[in-house]
Amino acid sequence: MWTQNYDPLNNIWLSALVALLPIACFFISLVVFKLKGHIAGLLTVILATLVAIFMYKMPLDKAALSLVYGALYGLWPIAWIIIAAIFLYKLTVKSGYFDILRESIIAITPDQRIQVILIGFCFGAFLEGAIGFGGPVAITAALLVGLGLRPLYAAGLCMIANTAPVAFGAVGIPIIAMSGAVGVPAKDISAMAGHMLPPLSLFVPFFLIFLMNGFKGVKETWPVALVAGGSFAIVQFITATHLGPELPDIASAVASIAAVAIFLRFWQPKNIFKFSDDKEIEISKHSYTMGQIVLAWLPFVLLILAIIVWTQGWFKDLFVLEGGKLSDGSKAAEAGIMAFSVFNFNFSSLAEIVQVSPVVVKDAPVKAVFNLSIINATGTSIFVVALLTMVLLKVKVSTAIKTFGETLNEMKFAILTIALVVGFAFISNNSGSSATLAIALASTGNAFAFFSPIIGWIGVFLTGSDTSSNLLFGTLQQVTARQLGIPEVLFLAANSVGGVVGKMISPQSIAIACAAVGLIGRESELFRFTVKYSIIFVIIIGIFTYAIAFWIPWLIPQAH
């Protein structure tokens, strides 16, 4: 057995400074030295391992196995989602139907500012609500490149657009997971997040337009930005406050898409905007039949349907092992009929890591069993849709196999980067260095109200997942709130809300976005594009959280 020590230098700020070194290494590698993502990831992993072994006295076998476990998790299910999503996109391109889909969007509006709102913000939010885990950015960024946007812009804009829905991503999993870890009803945390996120949701479409076309663009397109952001924010507030965390993203996205599509039938900007150095994409003079247009959209309709099936409790229960947890919370008396497709690999040495309670974690043992579920993985649902797309769009088997090979070849460095950065996340968590950073910030007293979302931001930067960040730091937020006499739902929600703007600088997200748009090896460019906005956003969220805690506590639902 080995017990984590969150203050190995007997000075929490000194310990935090050393714990910060691997993160600083990653920042400097990308921003200053402009290294490729996998090189920056490798250097960060090496430094994190040295810190874990020599400062935290983590046994070598546990450090190595943490890296291996994290790398495997990076490959499956995370990289698998991206491979399947890009494969699906490429099949639609090879079939020629993507041109029809692209032109049907251009027919709604040829203005690329509004196309980014429709695809990056609205459709991306729907995908985030349905699948999460990097899939939305991969799909929407690839779509925007196909519509003629520059790859760096497409990736960066989609990552910024993906902030608003992240807290309720993957059918509310980040908040549901936190609820289970801290014992606070998910609906209460959801309601608080639903009071904090709508201003960001309203702002994001305006900000996307500003990044593309400055104040001139905002002046020309503010009505449609208001319709997109306003409809999204209103539905997000209502659903998060009254229905819980499962539906805000999907409901808000559908409402926003419908509102924008209807609005654009009556209003279009006077000046049509396209990036001047991109090739001109004219509205096609082909007159496609309704059947052709339906076929072009069908892969993405099937994608939505498949994701809905894959996220249903009854479907997940088919894969539960005997004694495992069913969707209703009970234990399975017998294995599901598809349990044969699930393989467990036991990392027993990791089970011997003892976490110190209740400062950081509460009844959340270190993951020691790697679950490889072949069929019940989101990536597999996307891959099944890709196979159906082959048949529906009449793509030859030989073309599909060649396309899959191309996808793997283009993704090889991105897959390596994802494996490395998730491995880094696991060694940070298992060594206790992530907790050191959080505890240092928790020692700041009332100022913690400002730092609360920054902890979530750091958590998502480290793990690439709002869910992981909430599980990692949920109890710390809860304990600190109780010590300060502040309703705990505020800090619990702040952890998730701060995390959403950390997503755009997470190494995992950067690697995924670069892979989707063909910028593999240029991760530093995308990181430099998003990092300044991420920092500004999290500072504003910190100030907003502080204001709620001490100046406008009536915004806290439980304070009514």
Q: CB of 319 within 8 A of CB of 339?
A: yes
More reliable by pLDDT, 527 or 469 = 527
- The reported pLDDT for the residue numbered 278 is 45
- The reported pLDDT for the residue numbered 285 is 54
Residues 6+ positions from 295 with CB-CB distance below 8 Å: 97, 100, 392, 393
In a domain, residue 6? The reply is: no
Task: Please report, for residues 193, 215, 227, 234, 446, the alpha-carbon distance to residue 560 in angstroms, rounded to integers and kept in the order given.
Answer: 16, 39, 30, 20, 22
In a domain, residue 27? The reply is: no
Q: Which two tokens stand for residue 375?
A: 């069929």
In a domain, residue 196? The reply is: yes
Q: Give the rounded percent of residues in the chain with a pLDDT score beyond 90.
A: 39
Q: Which two tokens stand for residue 10?
A: 């007997």
Name the pLDDT band for 131 (thresholds 50, 70, 90): low
- How does DSSP classify residue 333? S
> What is the rounded average pLDDT of the residues 395-404?
95
Q: Which of 469, 540, 482, 475 is nearest to 508 (CA)?
A: 469
- The reported pLDDT for the residue numbered 133 is 63
In a domain, residue 411? The reply is: yes
| Structure confidence by residue, pLDDT tens digits, 424-442 | 878 888 898 888 887 888 8
Name the pLDDT band for 53 (thresholds 50, 70, 90): very high
- The reported pLDDT for the residue numbered 513 is 86
- The reported pLDDT for the residue numbered 128 is 86
In a domain, residue 15? The reply is: no
Model's pTM, two decimal places? 0.76
- Bridging pattern class, strands 342-346 and 369-373: antiparallel
Domain limits at 102? Answer: 35-559
Task: Please report, for residues 124, 153, 382, 386, 457, the alpha-carbon distance to residue 99 in angstroms, rounded to integers and kept in the order given.
Answer: 20, 21, 21, 17, 38
- Kindly report the average pLDDT of the chain as a whole number: 86
Q: Which range among 6-20, 99-113, 375-389 shows the weakest confidence by mean pLDDT?
A: 99-113
In a domain, residue 3? The reply is: no
More reliable by pLDDT, 367 or 539 = 539
Q: Which two tokens stand for residue 475?
A: 């109890």
| Structure confidence by residue, pLDDT tens digits, 264-290 | 999 999 998 887 544 444 444 567 888
Beta-sheet strands, E only, within 242-385: 342-346, 353-354, 369-373
Distance CA 244, CA 186 (A): 7
- The reported pLDDT for the residue numbered 276 is 55
Containing 100, the helix (H) or strand (E) segment is helix 97-108
Distance CA 146, CA 278 (A): 12
In a domain, residue 16? The reply is: no
In a domain, residue 128? The reply is: yes
Distance CA 99, CA 26 (A): 39
Burial annotation 320-353 (CB, 10 A radius, 16+ → b, else e): beeeeeeeeeeeeeebbebbeebeeeebebbeeb
| Structure confidence by residue, pLDDT tens digits, 279-324 | 444 444 567 888 998 998 898 888 878 877 887 889 988 998 888 8
Q: Which range among 16-20, 63-67, 476-480, 537-541 shows the weakest confidence by mean pLDDT?
A: 476-480
Distance CA 386, CA 71 (A): 26
Task: Please report, for residues 74, 361, 421, 513, the alpha-carbon distance to residue 509 in angstroms, rounded to integers and kept in the order given.
Answer: 11, 25, 10, 6
Q: CB of 362 within 8 A of CB of 181?
A: yes
Name the pLDDT band for 559 (thresholds 50, 70, 90): very low
Token pair 């997942």 is found at 465
Count: domains in the chain: 1
Using the predicted structure, report yes or no on whether residue 23 has a pLDDT greater than 70.
Answer: yes
| Structure confidence by residue, pLDDT tens digits, 170-195 | 768 788 878 876 778 889 999 999 99
| Structure confidence by residue, pLDDT tens digits, 230-245 | 999 999 999 999 888 8
